[in-house]
Amino acid sequence: MRRFTTADLPATADVLVVGGGITGASVARDAALRGLSTVLVERDDFASGTSSRSSKLIHGGLRYLQTYQFAMVHESVREREVMMRIAPHLAALRPFLYLIYEGDPEGKALLNLGLTFYDAFARAPRRRRHRMLGRGAVLRREPYLKPDGLRGGGLFYDALTDDARLVLDVLESAHRAGALVANHREVTGLVHDGGRVVGAEVTDRLAGEQFTVRARTVVNAAGPWVDGVLGLERDVRTPTLRPTKGAHIVLRTDDFPLNTAVFRRSPTDGRVVWPTPAADGRHVYVGTTDTDFTGSPDDVVADEQDIAYLLDAANHTLPDVKVGPEHLVASWAGLRPIVAPPPGTTNSDASREHSITEGPGGMITAAGGKLTTARLMGREIVERVVEQLRERHGVRGVPDTTTASVPIAGGDPGERFRAERELVGVAPDLAERWLRRYGGTASAVARAGGHAPIAGTELTDAEIRHAVDDEMARTVSDVLVRRTGSFYWSADGDAAAVAAVSDVLGERLGLTPDQLSTQRADYADWVARNRGHRL
């Protein structure tokens, strides 16, 4: 991707998207693939909010069957299958075990029925259909599970993902189709003409540049910040969202020996939690909490209560390993931008369905939704955009969506084949890691040079250069949190790589020593605040 300048902007774009999370990225990709001139701006970094702090799953939402959200589950499992086709490098199929213990509200018969629906909705091949396991079979598979009261479980399949990488590759796809995208650019005001919203005032938060983007339609896809953007159009007296916080903790597999992701009820409140082996094979992450959040969406971290809750859940799952705060590698927390439900609805029961509304100035606002179904949400939003373009600007002949059939960046089989050939001279373990992370675009990483690991990390200079040159990373945090994921799986956030990241940022972007010093301090502070047990 290339950061656009004001000279690149069309006189009037067809659509301006505000927000660079998975929803905004999906809107930009869908619109650009239909031939609409598209501009997307993000106030911080791409995926820096909810979309890099999820449970990192592309899944059908099995637990939503308990609240009879059949349509959502049907939609989600079908989208999981779509993502496995168009983003195979970021949809890694894994087995999951839904455990049944004495006293759990769902019995084996009910679980079997739910999993049968799950398979039917997905139209999955026979080899991926669920199996019911007895107590002995479960313990042979996972010998450290709590044996007391265990009745068995259901083995089924969902997919792991790297949520931030997914957003970046969707954005790269939008860019390849003609969209202009930029991070660290905040919408500070809306442009009106005759009562209609016809664009936005934008400020580059790092460089200080200010400019105007004019557009026939404006989409507010700002996630947890959606009400802030909505407030630029009208007085928001009733919040659109009731955000809840979801926290996760990371443990080493050596300390928490789990082979299969498991669904287990928390001993604290009976909610379903899911310890999940990470893709690297060396870590397990445990999530998630679901608590009301009333603070600033700019400042969301796992606190002591979150960590204690998740450690209790972990020890309830594998009671003999006895993990404590000293075993934590990392933590993270994000906000679910849930559409405000009716009063009295519990957080866990609140629907994850999305809403799309149109304000008095014509701005289209999208709220809610899930990572798994973001492509569908993007399609629905663009359909509203097309309606506006047709009714208000006489635009005709906009083609239907193709997002379910066109692979995202890195997901095309031919692109991957070419990448595999270019990686022949790369160390096998490094080539495998790059293909898993970047898919077909791994060839661009290889061409960036510098394949030797930076001392004390697995990270290479090639990945840093690729992040800055090709993926619009502009800060140390952009590189180590979203582009490479080092922040999540290293106790010190790969601190040994910070100097190398600073060198590349300084060389490529011309940042001053003072700017780089500030960025390094900001990243160190973010790591420390998400390692609360170490403070």
For residue 410, being part of any structural domain is answered with no
Whether residue 297 is found in the same domain as residue 377 = no
**Digits of tens for pLDDT over the chain (535 positions)?**
988 988 999 999 999 999 999 999 999 999 999 999 999 999 999 999 999 999 999 998 777 766 667 777 888 999 999 999 999 999 999 999 999 999 888 889 989 988 998 888 888 788 889 999 999 999 999 999 999 999 999 999 999 999 999 999 999 999 999 999 999 999 999 999 999 999 999 999 999 999 999 999 999 999 999 999 999 998 887 888 889 999 999 999 999 999 999 999 999 999 999 999 999 999 999 999 999 998 899 999 999 999 999 999 999 999 999 999 999 999 999 999 888 765 555 555 555 678 999 999 999 999 988 899 999 999 999 999 999 999 999 999 999 999 999 999 999 999 999 999 999 999 999 999 999 999 999 999 999 989 999 999 999 999 999 999 999 999 999 999 999 999 999 999 999 999 999 999 999 999 999 999 999 999 999 999 998 644 3
Whether residue 491 is found in the same domain as residue 454 = yes
Number of neighbouring beta carbons within 10 Å of residue 467: 25
Task: Give the burial string for 479-492 (b: 16+ CB within 10 Å, else e).
Answer: bbbbbbbbbbbbeb
- Residues 6 or more apart from 176 whose CB is under 8 A from it? 409
- Position 242 scores a pLDDT of 87
**Pair type for strands 328-336 and 57-58:** unpaired
For residue 282, being part of any structural domain is answered with yes
d(CA 382, CA 400): 10
For residue 269, being part of any structural domain is answered with yes
Task: Give the burial string for 24-59 (b: 16+ CB within 10 Å, else e).
Answer: bbbbbbbbbbbebbbbbbbbbbbbbbbbbbbbbbbb
For residue 64, being part of any structural domain is answered with no
d(CA 188, CA 203): 7
- Calculate the CA 375 to chain-centre distance: 13
Tell me the three state secondary structure of residue 435.
helix
Whether residue 144 is found in the same domain as residue 276 = yes
Summary count for the chain: helices (H), strands (E)? 16, 18
Domain extent for 209: 6-50+164-241+351-393
Final residue belonging to a domain, choices 336, 359, 377? 336
Q: What is the CATH number of the domain that holds 471?
A: 1.10.8.870
Whether residue 193 is found in the same domain as residue 273 = no
Whether residue 364 is found in the same domain as residue 509 = no
Residue 74 — φ and ψ, nearest 5°? -60, -50
d(CA 472, CA 483): 9
Beta-bridge partner residues of 101: 150
Q: Are 169 and 408 a contacting pair, CB within 8 Å?
A: yes
173 CB-contact burial (10 Å; exposed 0-12 / middle 13-18 / buried 19+): buried
Whether residue 112 is found in the same domain as residue 195 = no
d(CA 364, CA 31): 14
For residue 71, being part of any structural domain is answered with no
Whether residue 301 is found in the same domain as residue 258 = yes
- CA angle 265/266/271 to nearest 5° reads 70
Q: Which pTM was predicted?
A: 0.95
**Pair type for strands 92-101 and 261-265:** parallel
Whether residue 104 is found in the same domain as residue 148 = yes
Whether residue 266 is found in the same domain as residue 382 = no
One-character DSSP codes across 313-348: HHHHHSTTT---GGGEEEEEEEEE-PBP--TT--TT
Whether residue 486 is found in the same domain as residue 521 = yes
Q: What is the CATH number of the domain that holds 377?
A: 3.50.50.60
Q: What is the CATH number of the domain that holds 286?
A: 3.30.9.10
Q: Are 186 and 205 a contacting pair, CB within 8 Å?
A: yes
When divided into structural domains, the chain yields a total of 3
Q: At what angle do helices 22-33 and 163-176 cross, to 10 degrees?
A: 20
User: CA-CA distances (angstroms) from residue 53 to 21, 155, 474?
Assistant: 11, 26, 20
Whether residue 252 is found in the same domain as residue 153 = yes
- Calculate the CA 502 to chain-centre distance: 25
- Position 199 scores a pLDDT of 98
d(CA 154, CA 131): 6
Tell me the three state secondary structure of residue 261.
strand
Q: Are 24 and 219 a contacting pair, CB within 8 Å?
A: yes
Q: Which has the closest alpha carbon to 442: 472, 473, 425, 176? A: 425
- CA angle 392/397/398 to nearest 5° reads 80
d(CA 440, CA 380): 28
- Position 533 scores a pLDDT of 47
For residue 408, being part of any structural domain is answered with no
User: CA-CA distances (angstroms) from residue 288 to 149, 284, 319, 500, 503?
Assistant: 23, 13, 19, 33, 36
For residue 430, being part of any structural domain is answered with no
Give the chain's largest Cα–Cα span. 71
Tell me the three state secondary structure of residue 143.
coil
For residue 440, being part of any structural domain is answered with no
d(CA 479, CA 499): 12
Residue 17 — φ and ψ, nearest 5°? -105, 125
198 CB-contact burial (10 Å; exposed 0-12 / middle 13-18 / buried 19+): buried
SS3 content of the chain, % helix, strand, coil (to 5): 40, 20, 40
Q: Which two tokens stand for residue 364?
A: 């289209």
Whether residue 40 is found in the same domain as residue 184 = yes
Which residue bears the tokens 């009037």?
12
One-character DSSP codes across 79-109: HHHHHHHH-GGG-EEEEEEEEEETT-SS-HH
